[in-house]
Chain A
Amino acid sequence: MDSHKPEGIRLLGRVLPWLLIVVLAIAAPYALPSFRLNLLGRFLSLGVVALGVDLIWGFTGLLSLGQGIFFALGGYGAAMHLQLTCATCSRSAGGIPEFFGLYGVKQLPFFWWPFHSPWFTLVAIWFIPGLVAGLLGYLVFRNRIRGVYFSILTQAALLVFYNFFNGQQKLINGTNGLKTDVTRLFGQMVGSDIMQRNFFWLTVLCVVVAWWICRNLVRGRFGDALVAIRDDEARLRFTGFNPTALKTIVFAVAGALAGVGGALYTVQSGIVSPQFMSVPFSIEMVIWVAVGGRATLLGAIFGALGINYAKSLVSEALPYLWLFIQGGLFIVVVTALPDGLVGWWKKGGVPRLLARFRGAPRLATYPALELEGPDKPRITLKGDQQ
Chain B
Amino acid sequence: MHGNAPIDGSAPLLELDGVSVDFDGFLALDDLSLCLASGELRAVIGPNGAGKTTFLDVITGKLLPSSGDVRFKGRSLLGQQEHHIARLGVGRKFQSPRVFENLSLRQNLTLAASVKTPLALLFGSLGRSERDRVEHLLGVIDLADRPHLLAGELSHGQKQWLEIAMLVAQDPDLLLVDEPVAGLTDGETERTADLLRELAGDHTVLVIDHDMEFIRRLDAPVTVLHEGHVLCEGTMDQVQCDPAVTEVYLGRADETP
- Whether a CB of chain B sits under 8 angstroms from the CB of A221 is yes
Residues of A within 8 A of B99 (CB): 232, 235
> In the complex, how many angstroms separate the beta carbon of A359 from the nearest chain B beta carbon?
27
8 A Cβ contacts from A102-152 to B: none
- Whether a CB of chain A sits under 8 angstroms from the CB of B17 is no
Bound-complex Cα distance A257 to B154 (A): 37
Bound-complex Cα distance A224 to B113 (A): 13
Contact of A237 with B121 in the complex, beta carbons under 8 Å: no
Chain B contact-residue range equals 35 or more
Number of contacting residues on A, CB 8 A?
A: 31
Contact of A228 with B60 in the complex, beta carbons under 8 Å: no
Contact of A222 with B103 in the complex, beta carbons under 8 Å: no
Binds B, one of A71-79, A239-247, A314-322: A239-247
Q: Which of B111, B122, B161 contacts A228 (CB under 8 A)?
A: B111
If A227-B102, A227-B103 touch, whether A383 touches B187 (CB-CB below 8 Å) is yes
If A227-B102, A382-B142 touch, whether A238 touches B60 (CB-CB below 8 Å) is yes
Q: Which of B110, B118, B141 contacts A382 (CB under 8 A)?
A: B141
Residues of A within 8 A of B112 (CB): 239
Count how many pairs of residues, one from A and one from B, have CB atoms less than 8 Å apart in the complex.
103
Bound-complex Cα distance A240 to B142 (A): 26
> In the complex, how many angstroms separate the beta carbon of B235 from the nearest chain A beta carbon?
27
If A242-B116, A379-B146 touch, whether A221 touches B102 (CB-CB below 8 Å) is no
Contact of B103 with A380 in the complex, beta carbons under 8 Å: no
8 A Cβ contacts from B31-87 to A: 60, 81-83, 86-87
- Whether a CB of chain A sits under 8 angstroms from the CB of B158 is yes
* Binary contact readout A216-235 vs B (1 if CB under 8 angstroms, 0 otherwise): 01001110110110111011
Contact of A241 with B143 in the complex, beta carbons under 8 Å: no
Residues of B within 8 A of A240 (CB): 83, 86-87, 116, 170
- Whether a CB of chain B sits under 8 angstroms from the CB of A157 is no
Residues of A within 8 A of B252 (CB): none
- Whether a CB of chain B sits under 8 angstroms from the CB of A249 is yes
- Whether a CB of chain B sits under 8 angstroms from the CB of A384 is yes
If A222-B122, A224-B110, A241-B116 touch, whether A381 touches B188 (CB-CB below 8 Å) is yes
> In the complex, how many angstroms separate the beta carbon of A310 from the nearest chain B beta carbon?
30
- Whether a CB of chain A sits under 8 angstroms from the CB of B114 is yes
> In the complex, how many angstroms separate the beta carbon of A151 from the nearest chain B beta carbon?
21
Contact of A242 with B83 in the complex, beta carbons under 8 Å: yes
> In the complex, how many angstroms separate the beta carbon of A194 from the nearest chain B beta carbon?
40
- Whether a CB of chain B sits under 8 angstroms from the CB of A377 is yes
Contact of B116 with A379 in the complex, beta carbons under 8 Å: no
Residues of B within 8 A of A238 (CB): 60, 82-83, 86, 91-92, 94
Q: Which of A224, A231, A241, A377 contacts B83 (CB under 8 A)?
A: A241
- Whether a CB of chain A sits under 8 angstroms from the CB of B221 is no
Contact of A221 with B158 in the complex, beta carbons under 8 Å: no
Bound-complex Cα distance A246 to B114 (A): 15
Majority SS at the chain A contact face: helix
Bound-complex Cα distance A238 to B91 (A): 7
Of A217, A232, A241, most B-chain CB atoms within 10 Å: A241
Of B60, B94, B116, B126, most A-chain CB atoms within 10 Å: B116
> In the complex, how many angstroms separate the beta carbon of A218 from the nearest chain B beta carbon?
11
8 A Cβ contacts from B112-170 to A: 112, 114, 116-118, 121-122, 126, 140-143, 145-146, 149, 154-155, 157-158, 161, 166, 170
Contact of A225 with B121 in the complex, beta carbons under 8 Å: yes
If A379-B149, A382-B140 touch, whether A235 touches B187 (CB-CB below 8 Å) is no
- Whether a CB of chain A sits under 8 angstroms from the CB of B202 is no
8 A Cβ contacts from B155-207 to A: 155, 157-158, 161, 166, 170, 187-188, 191
Chain A residue, CB-CB nearest to B120: A221
Residues of B within 8 A of A241 (CB): 83, 111, 116
Bound-complex Cα distance A222 to B100 (A): 14
Contact of B87 with A381 in the complex, beta carbons under 8 Å: no
Residues of A within 8 A of B126 (CB): 221
Bound-complex Cα distance A240 to B60 (A): 11
Chain B residue, CB-CB nearest to A238: B92
Q: Which of A217, A228, A237, A243 contacts B103 (CB under 8 A)?
A: A228
Task: Show 25 A/B contacts (Cβ-Cβ < 8 Å), sorted by A.
Answer: A221-B114, A224-B100, A224-B103, A224-B107, A224-B110, A225-B111, A227-B100, A228-B103, A232-B98, A232-B101, A235-B98, A236-B100, A239-B86, A239-B116, A239-B170, A240-B86, A241-B83, A246-B118, A249-B118, A379-B142, A379-B143, A380-B142, A381-B142, A381-B161, A384-B187
Residues of A within 8 A of B (CB): 217, 220-222, 224-225, 227-228, 230-232, 234-243, 245-246, 249, 377, 379-384
